[in-house]
Structure 1
Amino acid sequence: MKLLVTGLNGTLAPRLAQAARAAGVDVIGWDRARINPDDIQATQRWLDATRAEAIAHLAMGSADWAARLAAHAAERAMPFVFTSTAMVFDHEPDGPHAPDSARNARDDYGRYKIACEDAVLCANPGATVARIGWQIDPSQPGNNMLMALDQWQARDGCVAASRAWRPACSFMADTAAALLALLQQPRAGVVHLDSNAAEAHSFVAIVAALKARFARDAWILREHEDYRHDQRLAGGARLVPPLSARLPQLAR
């Protein structure tokens, strides 16, 4: 299979590419410096020339770009996966959130992802929209929970964590493996990928487990209840393992 992956300069896409290559998949990336996604004719010529057999759209970009990629995949009956986010749901009403729960984001990012979801599924009803939570990885830069907690400690002298927040989150390697599985065995519609969905660990418990697992002895954990939200993405496809599989401290 030849797989086109967008967002290879981001956080999760490189892990997907790594997993795909390990499985013998030929991975090609989108070079925005060479092919502007807003240039419709140039992008279509390039897509035709690449002869990709599947597309994973992980890059930030317009809803129109997402729709055109989804339509291209539909016309050629190829698998198409778009990554969305738990942020399409506001904290009121509370979760856990099912795939068909009403999306009610109030912030710009959540609304942007809603627009992209709608554009993708309108252009390609057979597409997979994979909603994910906060990603965890020992080394990958970008929007990575472990790296963010390091930054909080350096900036604030502590890691503030709410006991009243049950975040949607997974290890990046597990999310990448799930996305690859969805490309190999497509599922139309919205799929939730959340390693905390069934176990429902609080953010405090997750931070404490990460501190022990990755020897972050310098972290000073400050517990609070200032943020209350069951953010979990329920009704998932069980394509990601539970958090306790990666963080045995959570099973105790």
Structure 2
Amino acid sequence: MGPGPGGGGAVGQGPARAAPRRSQPGLLMRVLIAGRQGQVAQALLRRLDGHAVTALEPPELDLTDPASIAAAMEAARPELVVNAAAYTAVDRAEDQEALAFAVNRDGAAHLAAAAAAMGAPFVHFSTDYVFDGRKGAPYVETDAPSPLGVYGRSKAEGEAAVLAAHPRSVVLRTAWVCSADGANFVKTMLRLAAEREELRVVADQHGAPSFAADLADAVAVMAPRLLAAPAGDAAFGLFHLTGSPHTTWHGFTAEILAQAARRGMRVPRLAAIATTDYPTRAMRPADARLDCGRIADIHGISPADWRLSLAQCLDRLVGPAKELAE
């Protein structure tokens, strides 16, 4: 998400909210997605194929420009709005605080308020970076945010702003998003594996990969209930959703390389290093595992096995495993 004209207004305030809108049985669902080229947006476009989906990026829909949000909303007249756009440059955010907050907090709130005025439920993606990673156990939705850097703070304040702006919002916290689209850890490791004799990967940061296709599936599963449910229904609010099982960046890399090798790729040695061996501009949470029990209880959505999702991703990027291709 790039810079754009500034947008004023108090976070959490917006036009009067319309009543919930409900699709008639058998009719297509009208969906507006903020973002088009990102990993989750691309996965949503594939998953919602057959519905009336509009996916927009700047300048047509710029989260730093409330006028563009209003115009996009009026043109699309959506029944469901999904915010798949964000400022995600974790290290650069330390020097671009105003832009990070303009997109991740203020822009998200403006989009949520516009969805409320349209009577459309709102799905907003957030991150494990809202936590400092010091709990020592998986985080649940009632744990207080404690971000370590600008990016995490902007996303934590964005969550609160979205929920204040629109009572029929879902804030979906996830982590380590990967897919065959865009730039991500899987594609970086494949590129480095082809270039180097050894990969040195952090082994003391814990979490779980989340594949964009699984997140898109979750939105599609939730959508019918969100369209019909009134404000106050348990369907709305904060939810955690990542892949399973928990691992480290080193563990994730080991599986990437193992599956790549089964597809005929040359793979390098893999060495475990500590976070202190790989300094970055912004601090990362050391243990940001998310407990995904609430979304399973309320929406019946269980974490996908990221190893299977990785295999599907590598099928697109590299080709099928040799034993499957023969």
Work out which of the residue numbers 97, 104, 107 in structure 1 matches 2:149. Answer: 107
Give me the whole-angstrom Cα distance separating, in 1, the residues matched to 2:163 and 2:308. 33
CA shift at 1:218, angstroms? 2.5
**Structure 1 runs, 4 residues or longer, greater than 6 Å off:** none
Q: Which residue of 2 aligns with 1:235?
A: 292
Relative to structure 2, which stretch is displaced further, 58-67 or 2-11?
A: 58-67
Give the counterpart letter for 1:241 in structure 2: A
- The answer to whether the Cα contact below 8 Å between 1:81 and 1:182 also exists between their aligned partners in 2 is no
> Residue 69 of structure 1: SS of its match in structure 2?
helix
Q: Which residue of 1 aligns with 2:246?
A: 200
Give me the whole-angstrom Cα distance separating, in 2, the residues matched to 1:42 and 1:149. 37
Say whether 1:2 aligns with 2:30.
Answer: yes
**TM (normalized to structure 1)?**
0.84
Say whether 1:11 aligns with 2:39.
Answer: yes
Work out which of the residue numbers 175, 179, 188 in structure 1 matches 2:215. Answer: 175
Q: Which residue of 1 aligns with 2:260?
A: 214
Give me the whole-angstrom Cα distance separating, in 2, the residues matched to 1:3 and 1:141. 22
- The answer to whether the Cα contact below 8 Å between 2:134 and 2:287 also exists between their aligned partners in 1 is no
Give me the whole-angstrom Cα distance separating, in 2, the residues matched to 1:65 and 1:14. 21
CA shift at 1:152, angstroms? 4.7
Say whether 1:223 aligns with 2:272.
Answer: yes
Cα deviation code 1:106-161 (max 9, x no counterpart): 21111111121111001012200001111232x3122x220122355467753223
**TM (normalized to structure 2)?**
0.66
- The answer to whether the Cα contact below 8 Å between 1:73 and 1:79 also exists between their aligned partners in 2 is yes
Say whether 1:141 aligns with 2:182.
Answer: yes
Say whether 1:33 aligns with 2:33.
Answer: no
Q: Which residue of 1 aligns with 2:317?
A: none
Cα deviation code 1:45-102 (max 9, x no counterpart): 4312321111000112252221122122223332210000111111224341111212
Change over 3 Å in CA distance of 1:166–1:8 after alignment to 2: same
Q: Which residue of 1 aligns with 2:5?
A: none
> Residue 143 of structure 2: SS of its match in structure 1?
coil
Change over 3 Å in CA distance of 1:43–1:200 after alignment to 2: closer
- The answer to whether the Cα contact below 8 Å between 1:134 and 1:168 also exists between their aligned partners in 2 is yes
Give me the whole-angstrom Cα distance separating, in 2, the residues matched to 1:37 and 1:200. 33
Greater CA radius of gyration, 1 or 2?
A: 2
Q: Which residue of 1 aligns with 2:90?
A: none
Relative to structure 2, which stretch is displaced further, 115-124 or 162-171?
A: 162-171
- The answer to whether the Cα contact below 8 Å between 2:199 and 2:270 also exists between their aligned partners in 1 is yes
Work out which of the residue numbers 190, 195, 198 in structure 2 matches 1:158. Answer: 198
Give me the whole-angstrom Cα distance separating, in 2, the residues matched to 1:31 and 1:226. 35
- The answer to whether the Cα contact below 8 Å between 2:34 and 2:61 also exists between their aligned partners in 1 is no
Give me the whole-angstrom Cα distance separating, in 2, the residues matched to 1:35 and 1:206. 35
Change over 3 Å in CA distance of 1:158–1:100 after alignment to 2: farther
Say whether 1:131 aligns with 2:182.
Answer: no
- The answer to whether the Cα contact below 8 Å between 1:80 and 1:183 also exists between their aligned partners in 2 is no
Give me the whole-angstrom Cα distance separating, in 1, the residues matched to 2:76 and 2:165. 21
CA shift at 1:105, angstroms? 0.9
Q: Which residue of 1 aligns with 2:70?
A: 44
- The answer to whether the Cα contact below 8 Å between 1:94 and 1:229 also exists between their aligned partners in 2 is no
- The answer to whether the Cα contact below 8 Å between 2:211 and 2:310 also exists between their aligned partners in 1 is no
Give me the whole-angstrom Cα distance separating, in 1, the residues matched to 2:121 and 2:192. 39
Q: Which residue of 2 aligns with 1:189?
A: 237
Change over 3 Å in CA distance of 1:90–1:153 after alignment to 2: farther
Percent identity between the two aligned chains? 27
- The answer to whether the Cα contact below 8 Å between 1:63 and 1:119 also exists between their aligned partners in 2 is yes
Q: Which residue of 2 aligns with 1:84?
A: 126
Give me the whole-angstrom Cα distance separating, in 2, the residues matched to 1:37 and 1:247. 31
Change over 3 Å in CA distance of 1:42–1:113 after alignment to 2: closer
Relative to structure 2, which stretch is displaced further, 120-129 or 91-100?
A: 91-100
